[in-house]
């Protein structure tokens, strides 16, 4: 299974863009990168996913490097409600998600 | 609201009790999942059901017994648990667990279980 590496924590100022990095250097060609977040004591929430092209939706943008060994989740205008643990996951070919420790993002006023 | 509900939200039980966790999804999905989240540990996949058939069992002890009577309901029956089983138990659903290209999982709020 491909593994991911994320920084354990990061702070972001409210209203600024938050750029969350993720390394997945052993990713295979058919494995997708998914991002979820988990607000304290709630279930994880889907954010976005992609294979090799950059993706954007109403919540965030996902930038995947050309060699697919890393990606960045961008929250364009962070709000206090974006404080959460963010998980970068490489989904294996059998469909399973393997959650890591994630990045604790704290958005400050 | 994600369309996945779990009851109860909190449960305290003794090691000799038998209890059940319930999950219901209102999304018309075909796959349902149980995850365990212990303190300071990543989410661990426990079971996967697809069209009411168990397709994944991640070496979970037999004191945890899942049941999927139909595609909308999932239960986790608990008996003779240990204090280390105290955790947040999360249910999720998705349309097709094999579709790695676009099958996002929707999670319920979880049941906070404490075993005394």
- State the Cα–Cα distance between residues A12 and A6, nearest whole angstrom: 16
Element of type H or E holding B21: strand B18-25
CA distance A56 to chain B (A): 14
Nearest chain B alpha carbon to A93: B100
Nearest chain B alpha carbon to A52: B101
Is the minimum CB–CB distance between B46 and chain A shorter than 8 Å?
no
pLDDT at residue B51, as a whole number = 86
Query: Greater confidence, B58 or A12?
Result: A12
Q: Which of B104, B106, B110, B113 to mutate to test the interface with A (most CBs of A within 10 A)?
A: B104
Is pLDDT of B54 > 60?
A: yes
Is the minimum CB–CB distance between A32 and chain B shorter than 8 Å?
yes
Over residues A26-60, the pLDDT tens digits come to 998 888 999 999 998 789 999 999 999 899 999 99
Q: Which residues pair with B78 in a beta bridge?
A: B19, B64
Contact A61/A74 with Cβ under 8 angstroms?
yes
Burial class (CB in 10 A: 0-12, 13-18, 19+), A69: middle
CA distance A96 to chain B (A): 8
Counting every residue written for chain B, the total comes to 116
Contact B102/B115 with Cβ under 8 angstroms?
no
Nearest chain A alpha carbon to B6: A43
Is pLDDT of B8 > 60?
A: yes
pLDDT at residue A1, as a whole number = 54
pLDDT at residue B1, as a whole number = 76
Contact B54/B75 with Cβ under 8 angstroms?
no
Chain A residue numbers with beta carbons less than 8 Å from the beta carbon of B102 are 49
Is pLDDT of A10 > 80?
A: yes
Other C-beta atoms within 10 Å of B43: how many?
25
Query: Greater confidence, B3 or B1?
Result: B3
Count A/B contacts: CB-CB distance under 8 Å. Answer: 52
pLDDT at residue B42, as a whole number = 87
Over residues A66-97, the pLDDT tens digits come to 999 999 999 999 999 999 999 999 987 777 78
């Amino acid at each position: 299974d491909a593994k991911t590496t994320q920084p354990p924590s990061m702070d972001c100022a409210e209203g600024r863009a938050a750029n969350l990095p993720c390394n997945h250097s052993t990713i295979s060609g058919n494995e997708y990168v998914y991002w979820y977040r988990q607000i304290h004591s709630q279930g994880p929430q889907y954010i976005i996913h992609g294979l090799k092209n950059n993706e954007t939706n109403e919540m965030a943008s996902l930038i995947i490097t050309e060699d697919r060994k890393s990606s960045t989740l961008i929250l364009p205008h962070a709000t206090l409600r974006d404080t959460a643990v963010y998980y970068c996951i490489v989904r294996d070919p059998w469909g399973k998600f393997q959650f890591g420790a994630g990045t604790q993002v704290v958005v400050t006023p | 609201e994600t369309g996945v509900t779990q009851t109860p939200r909190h449960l305290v039980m003794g090691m000799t009790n038998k209890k059940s966790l319930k999950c219901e999804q209102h999304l018309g999905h075909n796959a349902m999942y149980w995850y365990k989240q212990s303190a300071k540990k990543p989410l661990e996949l426990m079971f996967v059901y697809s069209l009411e058939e168990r397709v994944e069992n991640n070496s979970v002890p037999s004191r945890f017994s899942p049941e999927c009577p139909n595609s909308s309901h999932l239960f986790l029956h608990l008996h003779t648990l240990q204090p280390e089983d105290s955790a947040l138990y999360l249910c999720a659903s998705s349309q097709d667990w094999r579709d790695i290209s676009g099958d996002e999982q929707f999670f319920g709020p979880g049941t906070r279980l404490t075993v005394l």
